[in-house]
């Protein structure tokens, strides 16, 4: 599968193999006939890529490997209780708020704003199964999340908290609300891709690492979702 966002981040322009045994021929064919163009791109495979995948990626200059835990919370664990943290409200963002959402995502990941301009496109709000969320105490955005629901599965993405708002329980509360949203939509099994640092954050709310995703990029490309921005933050955490 080819997924090209156009964003200047390799992880967001990818050839993705959903199979446990990825086909080198299919990956090479996509790379040859469906070139991602001038943007950085990547190859995503489940588990550890074999030598043929490694060689094919290297032929295209992709030699940097990152492993991301795939964590799953099964529906049998039930809907978690509604979190209550300092009056925090987690709500769906409207089409007219996606620019604010994109800015908050960038600042939460401490990344240049231009890396997250794709979510600012209001047409994305109309995609079935995709919902954008803002976390706000007293109407001030301090974090973000996104759910992608398909069948009985809910994917959790873009879970962020502004740097100055961390260690207040906002990230945990936001995660729990996204899980609850999945249950409300009839999709009680939730999954997410975490960093190694993120694993202990999601484990207490019921997520367990079940396998790993390998992202293959060119060296020095913008593969990470945690790139430090070179300009000061435009959003501040409320002072309570």
Which residues have a Cβ under 8 Å from the Cβ of 43 and sit 6 or more positions away? 14, 15, 16, 17, 27, 31, 53, 57, 62, 215, 216
Q: How many angstroms separate the CA atoms of 105 and 162, rounded? A: 8
CA 107 to chain centre: 14
pLDDT of the residue at 29? 84
Query: Using CA atoms, how far apart are residues 133 and 32, in angstroms rounded to an integer?
Result: 37
Return the bridge partners of 89, or none.
136
What integer pLDDT is reported at residue 224 of this predicted model?
Answer: 47
CA-based nearest residue to 11, from 78, 58, 65, 47: 65
> What is the predicted pLDDT for the residue at 194?
86
Q: What does the alpha-carbon distance between residue 45 and residue 60 come to, in Å, rounded to a whole number? A: 16
DSSP string across 34-60: S--TTS--EEEEESS--HHHHHHHHHT
pLDDT computed for residue 95 by the predictor: 86
Q: What is the CA radius of gyration of the chain?
A: 18
Strand partners, 43: 15, 216
Confidence band, pLDDT 50/70/90 cuts, at residue 226:
very low
Q: What is the pLDDT of residues 119-154, one digit of tens each?
A: 556 555 556 788 999 999 988 999 999 998 989 999
**Confidence (pTM):** 0.79
User: Which CATH architecture fits 79-187?
Assistant: 3-Layer(aba) Sandwich (3.40)
Give the span between the Cα atoms of 101 and 186, in whole angstroms. 25
Q: How far apart are CA 119 and CA 99, in angstroms?
A: 7
Q: What is the mean pLDDT of residues 42-51?
A: 90
Residue 53: is its pLDDT beyond 70?
yes
What CA–CA distance (Å, rounded) separates 198 from 188?
Answer: 21
Quote the pLDDT of residue 37: 59
Residue 111 CB burial class (10 angstroms; 0-12, 13-18, ≥19): buried
Which two tokens mark 45?
Answer: 């495979």
* pLDDT for the residue numbered 125: 56
Percent of the chain with pLDDT over 70: 82
Domain boundaries, the chain: 2-68+212-217, 79-187
Answer whether residue 229 shows pLDDT above 80. Answer: no
Of residues 54 and 232, more confidently modeled: 54
pLDDT attached to residue 26? 86
> Alpha-carbon dihedral of residues 129, 18, 20, 152, nearest 10 degrees?
10
What stretches of the chain adopt beta strand conformation (E)?
Answer: 2-4, 13-17, 42-46, 64-73, 88-92, 130-137, 143-150, 153-161, 189-193, 208-217
pLDDT of residue 240: 53
What residues have CB less than 8 Å from 6, skipping those under 6 apart?
13, 39, 118
Report pLDDT digits (tens) over 161-202.
Answer: 999 998 899 999 999 999 999 999 999 999 998 877 778 889
């Amino acid at each position: 599968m080819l997924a090209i966002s156009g964003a200047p981040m390799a992880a967001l322009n990818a050839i993705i193999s959903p199979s446990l045994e990825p086909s080198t021929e299919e990956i090479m064919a996509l790379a040859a006939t469906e070139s991602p163009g001038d943007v950085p791109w990547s190859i995503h495979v489940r588990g550890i890529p074999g030598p043929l995948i490694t060689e094919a990626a290297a032929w295209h200059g992709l030699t940097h490997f990152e492993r991301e835990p795939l964590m799953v919370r099964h529906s049998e664990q039930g809907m978690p209780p509604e979190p209550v943290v300092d009056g925090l409200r987690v709500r769906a963002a409207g089409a007219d708020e996606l620019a604010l959402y994109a800015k908050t995502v960038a600042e939460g990941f401490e990344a240049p704003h231009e890396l997250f301009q794709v979510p600012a496109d209001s047409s994305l709000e109309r995609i079935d199964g995709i919902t954008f969320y803002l976390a706000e105490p007293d109407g001030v955005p301090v974090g973000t999340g996104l759910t992608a629901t398909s069948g009985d599965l809910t994917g959790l993405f873009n879970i962020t908290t502004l740097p100055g708002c961390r260690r207040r329980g906002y990230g945990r509360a936001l995660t729990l609300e996204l899980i609850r949203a999945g249950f409300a939509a009839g999709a009680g099994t939730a999954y997410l891709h975490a960093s190694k640092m993120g694993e202990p954050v999601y484990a207490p709310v019921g997520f367990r690492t079940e396998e790993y995703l390998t992202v293959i990029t060119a060296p020095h490309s913008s593969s990470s979702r945690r790139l430090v921005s070179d300009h000061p933050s435009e959003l501040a955490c409320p002072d309570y």
